[in-house]
Amino acid sequence: MDYREVFFVITGPTATGKTSRAVHLAKAIGGEIISADSRQIYRGMDIGTGKDLAEYEGVPYHLIDIRPAGYRYSLYEFLEDCERAINDIRGRGKPVIMCGGTGMYVETVVKGIKLPPVPRNEELRAELAGKSLEELTALLKTMKTLRNNSDIDTVARATRAIEICRYYELHPDLKALTEPHPMENALVIGVEVDRDTRRERISRRLRARLDEGMVDEVRRLIDSGIDPEDLIYYGLEYKFVTQYVLGELTEEEMFRQLEIAIHQFAKRQMTWFRGMEKRGTPIHWLSCRLSPEDFTAQVLALADQMPQK
Same domain? 11 vs 119? no
Same domain? 148 vs 194? no
Same domain? 19 vs 98? yes
Cβ(199)–Cβ(193) below 8 Å: no
Apex 285 CA angle, 282 and 287, nearest 5: 175
Number of folded domains that form the chain: 2
pLDDT tens over the chain, length 309 residues: 899 999 999 999 999 999 999 999 999 999 999 999 999 999 999 999 999 999 999 999 999 999 999 999 989 999 999 999 999 999 999 999 999 999 999 999 999 988 888 899 999 999 999 999 899 988 988 886 555 555 677 888 889 889 988 998 888 887 777 788 899 899 999 999 999 999 999 999 999 999 999 999 999 999 999 999 999 999 999 999 999 999 999 999 999 999 999 999 999 999 999 999 999 999 999 999 999 999 999 999 999 999 876
Same domain? 44 vs 133? no
Q: In what order do the strands lie in the sheet with 284-287?
A: 61-62, 32-35, 96-99, 7-11, 186-192, 284-287
Same domain? 98 vs 13? yes
Q: What is the pTM of this model?
A: 0.86
Same domain? 202 vs 106? yes
Q: Sign of the C-alpha dihedral, residues 291, 209, 71, 141?
A: positive
Same domain? 7 vs 53? yes
Residue 80 placed within a domain: yes
Q: Which domain holds residue 228?
A: 3-113+180-304
Residue 309 placed within a domain: no
Last residue of a domain, one of 159, 179, 199: 179
Q: What is the CATH number of the domain that holds 237?
A: 3.40.50.300
